[in-house]
Amino acid sequence: MNNKWTNHINGYVRVRIDGDYPERFLNRCIEHDFSIWQIKRIDDRRIVCYMDVEDAKRIRPLLRQTNCKVSFVQRSGMPFLLKRILKRSGFLVGIISFLTVMFVLSNMVWDIEIKGASPQVEHELRQVVTEMGIKRGTFQFSLPSVELIQRDVTELVQGATWVGVRQKGTTFEFEVVEQQLPDEAERYSPRHLIATKKAIIHKIFVEHGQAEVKPNDFVRKGDRLVSGYIGKKDAEDEEKELVPAQAMVLGEIWYKSDVSVPLDNLFTTLTGEKKERHYLSFSGFNIPIWGFGKVKFPEYTQFEHERQFQFLNWSLPISYKRTEFLETSQLNRTYTKKEAVSAARKRARVDLKKHLPLGAEIIGEKVLHEDVENGKVNLRIHYQVIEDITSEQPIIQGD
């Protein structure tokens, strides 16, 4: 039975048989179980057919018995195709080398474009992306994802409010939105300074305007601290000079914080050990290329990084995937009451600082209430904080 797939793999030839009785040669081939197909008579002395390469190597004894002559008209199949390819190996190597070079170059970073940034912010941004490894000649699959790059760059570049990142082929494009400073002219319009919250005046330093409070005075939210009218105290407001009040008024503010810390804490930490696996992913099917073997960590957390391969401007259906397994361990820590109180005070102080304005200073801390309930230490803490309490109140002439 003729099997086309087997014939193509093993190779086959087209044979021309010449002689007085070419049928006798075919009969001998059939007796020896030769694979012959598509037999066609050309004339009384010639027959054409196909046979396997392996069988064609064994026909010489049959030719002597039948006095026939055989010519190989055509050679087909994998062995003959490989021979033809090897004869043109230089051309084949050139094509493969060209495609390989183009593939490698298509998956490297060759340009970094920055839009919407001033020279100073652009210089800062280029330093940040260089430290992250984003530079010419870097393989794209060794870099973090575009989302992670955008998050980190936005946080690290001080002069930018937002940085958009887009990968376009071999180019990384960064679009910058810079911080907009308030108009300086508004700072010099006539105004009063009022209190933003109730406080006891701790310190006051007036540059422009007339102070209406002094240290140790108690003020409430909205009370005037520094007036934009300067002149004699007994004069009417219309007779005084208008100025933009400028001053630093520090007030003592009181805050209360409630915090709870469990006496028994179960937390997960990384041990520093890790294992990596590398794959070539094709249509969701992962082919491992490095990092074989089982993950021997009893507990671990898993992170996946995937980046699609490029060829010129096309995205290939093949991607590089790297999976990290980071070993973790669970630790159970039991606090004494004294340790839990100390941890609670530290946590409360950190949380308070997150909500304080820049330059605020905590000058006092006192625990108002402390108890242990349901395995937790509960604290209520009173803080004394020194911070700037000024806010602008525009002066509209004619009011």
The span from the CA of 399 to the CA of 397, in Å, is 6
Identical fold between 4-82 and 111-178: no
Note the pLDDT of residue 187.
Answer: 52
308 pLDDT higher than 50: yes
From the list 253, 255, 251, the residue with the least C-alpha distance to 352 is: 255
The span from the CA of 105 to the CA of 77, in Å, is 36
185 pLDDT higher than 50: no
pLDDT above 90 as % of the chain: 16
The span from the CA of 22 to the CA of 109, in Å, is 68
396 pLDDT higher than 80: no
Which CATH fold topology does 4-82 show? Alpha-Beta Plaits (3.30.70)
* Residue 129, amino acid: V
Average pLDDT (206-232) is: 88
Q: Which residues of 216-233 are buried (b: 16+ CB within 10 A; e: fewer)?
A: eeebeeeebbbbbbeeee
Q: Which CATH superfamily is domain 111-178 in?
A: membrane protein fhac (3.10.20.310)
CB-CB contact of 6 with 35 (8 Å): no
Note the pLDDT of residue 188.
Answer: 62
Sheet holding 46-52, edge to edge: 36-43, 46-52, 12-18, 69-76
DSSP 154: H
Q: What does the block give as tokens for 172?
A: 């990384």
Q: What does the block give as tokens for 29?
A: 């081939």
Angle between helix 119-131 and helix 146-156 axes, rounded to 10 deg: 130
Average pLDDT (98-104) is: 84
Average pLDDT (148-165) is: 85
Burial of 181 (0-12, 13-18, 19+ CB in 10 A): exposed
Q: Which residue has the tokens 């209360």?
A: 256
102 backbone dihedrals φ, ψ, rounded to 5°: -65, -40
170 pLDDT higher than 90: no
Average pLDDT (265-286) is: 83
The DSSP bridge partners found for residue 263 are none
Note the pLDDT of residue 239.
Answer: 63
330 backbone dihedrals φ, ψ, rounded to 5°: -100, 130
The overall average pLDDT reported for the chain is: 84
Domain boundaries, the chain: 4-82, 111-178, 184-247, 265-333
pLDDT tens digits for 289-304? 888 878 888 888 888 8
Percent of the chain that is helix, strand, coil (3-state, to 5): 25, 45, 25
pLDDT above 70 as % of the chain: 93
Q: How many CA atoms lie within 13 A of 65 on its CB side?
A: 12
pTM value is 0.47
252 pLDDT higher than 50: yes
